[in-house]
């Protein structure tokens, strides 16, 4: 099918549009898609979902666009391709409902052929409904948050997402591929169709190989053309070498088949193009995970679907930027927690080189929240799962499928054991080339009343001695090629004794433990990787990552870290999870620095702890991280004891404070945080240096400096040009500096931004996890001396100006271009 991007100029309204009169009475707001109808709304303490949604509220919204359907398409098929609509969406054409889609994350196609009027404008209205709260355990956003396409094709055509190409083998200088092309015939006669396929390197027109096949497709039916391709001297895809091809397919209608072929005078032709990479995948408990025959350990991070200041809007450049930054820390894999991601993210992983653990559901038939997908699961799961796998199955970055996360049915309730196998087999039916997994956790939920007695009901708590997790969940793993273990690293070696053929994946783990868990992952061949919760901070599940410092006699000490996570959730205005290697603006946090060292970097990272925490008891939630700061500004604490923390994989570290050495210490190698070392000193303004040594020689160093007062701001765009496609963005970092140009790490400056020209201010804010700011307005406050502005292009070329002012400081501006 030929598809036209339909994202430009929709009219957005709140509420339900039930008549043409209501349409005329509410002018609405013009928006370009993708668009999040929730991110610009106010957060309030009375939000029904509370911290689950970062104190945002759901509502009912609608989007309308008038589209001319050409007269010359009258003998063709016409439809809309949605990459996802959040959620409970209805599609109306000219006032009539033609489709309903509950699951917000799944792609879907709506055939409009029987409903549109050719040669005229047709009104498309999409309603979305996130008001059935609580709909999720995290921020969902709302509306048309992913791209929409208008598709048309001849009556004999390639089905949407109907091209499937996979690598059977790479050997003897060749890649042996098989293509399956699904053809639909909507005419009233049996047809003969010539299906031709060619493979070209991405960005080139030179054909690497091509072939064709003729098949018969009966009236009002579908048929699959199966075609072998041999590629000489193939370029293989992996995370380090993301070599890509384009598969180009044509389906030519040769004519009617009666007792012989009767050729048409004018043969119609349909076309499709898909991105593809040549690579092989195997996984077993002896050799581990192998990509193209080489063992790979997955250095993974769980990533939710939102893009921070942009809300749930998914744009290719935002997703690619995220992937690039994750790779800089050392990640080579992401888990799409806990739902189908956008097509933009998957393409970014293909192009940038990032393995994907591609996940389908957070809930099946048993609810986790009252308004979640569980109420529609029985009727919709097969359709949604199939559409998701069909969309992603050509992408080389996708190496593992996941049927779900921490599913309550893992203990067998609600027919969970057989359902688990059924979902896995459905995935294999659509794509049998990748292993299937599921992120399984302990039995803090998912047991009947009798078995649940005596179990710790806290999320991801360890099981009691009376319950054998392996026995209870074994039937649930029946359909899995790889068993995902959420927060159960302590079971790996024991379970290998019980199930020696089982391939284990650390599908979700606490961020603090990577230092002593990762060497175990590297040592055990049957454990193929580890995924931290999380790699990138996100909206909702607010405050699950906390650390506080209290006196030894504080009642919290006896209650333990779970007391930092009260049952109603984190108090208003907590907004983000605060549990990640990067904040929502893409600024690397100390957790990311530590991981970078654990994954093999020779860098030295120096941090301090606030003097007011010295000598106190550190209490951290399981998803939290110690509060270490890139800061040496502690006015008023002169002469007070302070602790310095260094992350390094060297043999020893020396710390020098204002020219005086504190000596050298060996870098820790034991839990709780190997690859780290701590020093105590007395705070005095000035300069602190940490120097890492191996074999007596310096390998790297880091520095903390006391800065002056905030004197000015600096803005730094990450690029100077963006495309006039409505989807491109420029991230502009904002820093508060002292008179010497140093970032003031404790500066909270009031900032305002103005954008003029051919772009809009799509997001403006900081990484502050506790805020009631509106990311879509022109005001924010810097957090630890930093903020971010995101400019988004429209569809016009021309100049753009960004002006940023700081209260009591200077005003700066930068000129950019939309090309």
Sheet holding 676-682, edge to edge: 605-608, 641-647, 676-682
Pairing of strands 504-509, 483-486: parallel
Query: For residue 461, what pLDDT is reported?
Result: 67
Burial of 666 (0-12, 13-18, 19+ CB in 10 A): exposed
Query: For residue 567, what pLDDT is reported?
Result: 77
- pLDDT reading at 630 higher than 70: yes
DSSP three-state, residue 796: coil
Q: What percent of the chain has pLDDT over 70?
A: 99
**Could you tell me the CA-to-CA distances from 263 to 53, 191, 221, 260 in Å, in that order?**
59, 10, 20, 10
Q: Are 442 and 406 in contact (CB under 8 A)?
A: no
- pLDDT reading at 466 higher than 80: no
Q: Are 538 and 577 in contact (CB under 8 A)?
A: yes
Residues 581, 587: Cα–Cα separation, whole Å: 9
**Could you tell me the CA-to-CA distances from 575 to 36, 58, 481, 511, 773 in Å, in that order?**
17, 15, 37, 19, 10
Query: For residue 621, what pLDDT is reported?
Result: 95
Q: What is the mean pLDDT of residues 262-271?
A: 91
- Name the helix (H) or strand (E) containing 695: none
Query: For residue 562, what pLDDT is reported?
Result: 85
Sheet holding 759-765, edge to edge: 712-717, 729-737, 786-793, 759-765
Query: For residue 266, what pLDDT is reported?
Result: 81
- pLDDT reading at 51 higher than 90: yes
Q: What is the mean pLDDT of residues 535-551?
A: 97
Q: What percent of the chain has pLDDT over 90?
A: 94
Q: What is the mean pLDDT of residues 635-650?
A: 98
Ramachandran bin of 487, using left for φ above 0, alpha for ψ from -120 to 50, beta for the remaining angles: left
Question: Given pLDDT bands bounded at 50, 70 and 90, which one contains residue 21?
Answer: confident
Instruction: List the beta strands (DSSP E) in 38-88.
Output: 60-69, 76-82
Query: For residue 146, what pLDDT is reported?
Result: 98
Residues 108, 235: Cα–Cα separation, whole Å: 32
pLDDT in tens, 695-728: 999 999 999 999 999 999 999 999 999 999 999 9
Residues 162, 691: Cα–Cα separation, whole Å: 57
pLDDT in tens, 544-595: 999 999 999 999 999 988 889 877 889 999 999 999 999 999 999 999 999 9
Single pTM value for the model = 0.97
- pLDDT reading at 460 higher than 70: no
Instruction: Name the residue among 355, 164, 180, 174 with its Cα closest to residue 275.
Output: 164
Residues 795, 815: Cα–Cα separation, whole Å: 18
Q: What is the mean pLDDT of residues 319-333?
A: 98
Q: Please count the other Cβ atoms lying within 10 Å of the Cβ belonging to residue 76.
A: 21
Q: Among 196-200, 552-556, 737-741, whose mean pLDDT is lowest?
A: 552-556
Q: What is the mean pLDDT of residues 426-436?
A: 98
Q: Are 427 and 401 in contact (CB under 8 A)?
A: yes
pLDDT in tens, 59-88: 999 999 999 999 999 999 999 999 999 999
Q: What are the beta bridge partners of residue 692?
A: 653, 700
Question: Given pLDDT bands bounded at 50, 70 and 90, which one contains residue 464?
Answer: low
pLDDT in tens, 477-531: 999 999 999 999 999 999 999 999 999 999 999 999 999 999 999 999 999 999 9
DSSP three-state, residue 236: strand
Higher per-residue pLDDT: 638 or 468: 638
Query: For residue 463, what pLDDT is reported?
Result: 67
Q: What DSSP designation does 644 have? A: E
- Helix, strand, coil distribution of the chain in percent, nearest 5: 15, 40, 40
Please give the mean pLDDT across all residues of the chain. Answer: 96
Query: For residue 19, what pLDDT is reported?
Result: 82
Instruction: List the beta strands (DSSP E) in 172-242.
Output: 174-185, 191-201, 207-217, 221-232
Q: What is the mean pLDDT of residues 412-427?
A: 98
Q: What is the mean pLDDT of residues 444-469?
A: 79
Tokens of 674: 């190997």
């Amino acid at each position: 099918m030929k598809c036209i991007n339909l994202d430009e100029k929709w009219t957005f309204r709140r509420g339900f549009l039930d008549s043409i009169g209501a349409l005329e009475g509410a002018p609405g707001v013009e928006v370009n898609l993708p668009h999040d109808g929730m991110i610009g709304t106010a957060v309030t303490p009375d939000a029904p979902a509370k911290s689950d949604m970062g104190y945002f509220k759901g509502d009912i919204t609608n989007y309308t666009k008038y589209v001319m359907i050409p007269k010359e398409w009258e003998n063709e098929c016409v439809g809309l391709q949605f990459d996802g609509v959040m959620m409970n969406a209805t599609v109306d054409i000219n006032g009539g409902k033609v489709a309903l889609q509950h699951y917000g994350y799944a792609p879907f196609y709506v055939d409009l052929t029987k409903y549109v009027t050719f040669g005229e404008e047709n009104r498309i209205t999409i309603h979305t409904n996130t008001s059935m709260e609580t709909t999720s355990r995290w921020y969902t956003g709302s509306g048309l948050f992913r791209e929409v396409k208008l598709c048309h094709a001849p009556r004999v055509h390639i089905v949407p997402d109907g091209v499937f190409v996979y690598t059977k083998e790479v050997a003897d200088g060749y890649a042996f591929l098989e293509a399956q092309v699904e053809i639909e015939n909507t005419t009233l006669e049996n047809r003969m169709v010539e299906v031709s396929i060619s493979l070209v390197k991405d960005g080139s027109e030179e054909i690497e190989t091509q072939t064709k096949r003729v098949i018969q497709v009966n009236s009002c039916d579908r048929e699959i053309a199966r075609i072998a391709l041999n590629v000489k001297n193939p370029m293989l895809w992996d995370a380090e070498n993301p070599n890509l091809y384009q598969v180009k397919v044509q389906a030519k209608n040769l004519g009617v088949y009666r007792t012989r072929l009767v050729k048409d005078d004018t043969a119609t032709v349909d076309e499709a193009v898909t991105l593809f990479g040549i690579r092989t995948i195997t996984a077993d408990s002896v050799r581990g995970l192998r990509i193209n025959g080489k063992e790979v350990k997955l250095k993974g991070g769980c990533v939710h679907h939102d893009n921070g200041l942009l809300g749930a809007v998914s744009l290719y450049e935002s997703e690619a930027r995220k992937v690039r930054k994750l790779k800089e820390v050392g990640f080579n894999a992401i888990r799409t927690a806990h739902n189908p991601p956008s097509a933009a993210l998957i393409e970014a992983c293909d192009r940038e080189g990032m393995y994907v653990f591609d996940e389908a559901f957070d809930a099946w038939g048993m609810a986790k929240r009252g308004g979640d997908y569980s109420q529609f699961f029985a009727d919709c799961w097969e359709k949604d799962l199939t559409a998701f796998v069909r969309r992603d199955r050509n992408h080389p970055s996708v190496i593992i499928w996941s049927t779900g996360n921490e599913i309550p049915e893992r203990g067998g309730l609600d027919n969970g054991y057989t359902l688990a196998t059924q979902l896995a087999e459905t995935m294999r039916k659509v794509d049998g080339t990748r292993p299937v997994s599921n992120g399984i956790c302990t039995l803090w939920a998912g047991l009947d009343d009798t078995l649940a007695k005596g179990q710790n009901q806290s999320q991801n708590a360890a099981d009691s001695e009376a319950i054998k997790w392996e026995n209870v969940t074994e039937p649930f793993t029946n359909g899995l090629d790889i068993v995902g273990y959420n927060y159960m690293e302590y079971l790996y070696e024991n379970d290998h004794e019980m199930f020696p053929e089982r391939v284990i994946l650390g599908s979700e783990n606490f961020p603090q433990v990577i230092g002593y868990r990762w060497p175990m992952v590297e040592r055990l061949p049957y454990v193929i990787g580890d995924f931290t919760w999380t790699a990138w901070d996100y909206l909702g599940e607010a405050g699950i990552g906390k650390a506080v410092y209290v006196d030894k006699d504080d009642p919290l000490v006896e209650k333990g870290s779970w007391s930092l996570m009260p049952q109603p959730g984190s108090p208003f205005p907590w907004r983000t999870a605060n549990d990640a290697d990067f904040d929502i603006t893409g600024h690397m946090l100390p957790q990311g620095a530590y991981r970078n060292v654990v994954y093999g970097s020779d860098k030295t990272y120096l941090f301090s702890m606030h003097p007011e925490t010295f000598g106190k008891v550190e209490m951290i939630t399981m998803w939290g991280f110690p509060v270490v700061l890139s800061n040496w500004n502690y006015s008023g604490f002169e002469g007070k004891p302070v602790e310095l923390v260094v992350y390094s994989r060297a043999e020893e570290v020396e710390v020098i404070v204002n020219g005086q050495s504190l000596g050298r210490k060996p870098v820790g190698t034991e839990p709780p945080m190997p690859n780290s070392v701590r020093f105590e000193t007395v705070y005095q303004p000035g300069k602190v240096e940490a120097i890492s040594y191996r074999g007596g020689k310096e390998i790297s160093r880091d520095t903390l400096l006391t800065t002056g007062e905030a004197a000015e701001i600096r803005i730094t765009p990450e690029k100077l040009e963006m495309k006039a496609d409505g989807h491109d963005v420029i991230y502009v970092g904002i820093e508060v500096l002292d008179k010497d140009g140093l970032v003031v790490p404790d500066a909270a400056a009031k900032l305002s931004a103005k954008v003029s020209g051919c772009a809009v201010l799509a997001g403006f804010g900081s990484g502050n996890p506790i805020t009631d700011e509106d990311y879509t307005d022109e005001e924010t406050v810097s957090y630890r001396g930093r903020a971010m502005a995101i400019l988004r292009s429209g569809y016009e070329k021309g100049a753009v100006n960004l002006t940023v002012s700081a209260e009591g400081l200077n005003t700066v501006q930068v000129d950019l271009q939309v090309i």
